[in-house]
Amino acid sequence: MKFKFLNATLASSILSISSLVSVANAGLITNGDFSTGDFTGWDVGITPTVADGGRPYSIDTSGDGWDIRGTTLYATNGFDGGAILNGVPDYEADLDFYLQQDFSFSGNVISAFLSFEFDITGGPSFVASRSGAPTEDRVFDVSFLDSLGIDLGSVYTYTVAGTTVDSNPRQFINLDVTSFFNNNSGNNFKLSFNENIPQYFTGGGSFQIDNIDLNIVTADVPEPSTLAIFALGMMGLASRRFKKQS
């Protein structure tokens, strides 16, 4: 009976060390509240670029389309704009605002949560675009990219439908993204916020984003060789105790 008890203790100890050797919890986003007053840590801009024809609406019209504003400091853009092709407005060309940051972690993901807050006002209020086509939706999308820059899929999408003006209050988002990391291998990713403006100046607007945070809890599992050595040591200890007691 004592030998069986020691075996049970041994099994329990091996299970514990294999699953709980090291657990880490880290806020992985740099300058998520923009407290530096600039875009330190972030890759930010518009596509196409200003040089290639992109024209953001109202905010930082000669730069990358983004600015840091407010007494509490938040990132903002005009949520509108248009593209120029060969010096002429391209009324049906997409304009994209992006805000991105690389991050990495180690170990196997136990849980992962992404939080942020955003506010949109205005939107595609015209009945038709300047080309006469029906006014299309504007879309705010959040996704993760892999180390090669390949988009692995959206984790959050917010749509302002064509011919509407968004008047919803500020949104406070907290996403459980554990399943995303469990379904995608690797430890190096890019967090990407993107706004798609599908037509040329179809109604003024404003976009604000702030307090971006990503927390991932991981567990480091020991190498099989380490577990084997530990198990052999425990078995030797159990054998010696059994011999003494018998």
Q: Is the pLDDT of residue 115 over 70?
A: yes
Question: Which of 66, 69, 90, 89 lies closest to 78, judged by CA?
Answer: 66
pTM: 0.82
Task: Give the DSSP H/E element, type plus range, for residue 210.
Answer: strand 205-220
Helix axes 224-245, 2-19, angle to 10 degrees: 160
| pLDDT > 70 fraction of the chain, expressed in percent and rounded | 79
Q: Note the pLDDT tens digit of each residue in 136-183.
A: 999 999 999 999 999 999 999 999 999 999 999 999 999 999 999 999
DSSP 76-138: EE-S-EEEEETTEEETT--EEEEEEEEEE--SEEEEEEEEEEEEEEE---SSB-TTSPBPPPE
How many CB atoms are located within 10 Å of the residue 215 CB?
14
Q: Is the pLDDT of residue 21 over 60?
A: no
Q: How far apart are CA 84 and CA 216, in angstroms?
A: 42
Mean per-residue pLDDT over the chain, rounded: 85
Q: State the Cα–Cα distance between residues 50 and 95, nearest whole angstrom.
A: 11
Residue spans of the domains in the chain: they are: 1-21+223-246, 23-220
Superfamily for the 23-220 domain: Galactose-binding domain-like (2.60.120.260)
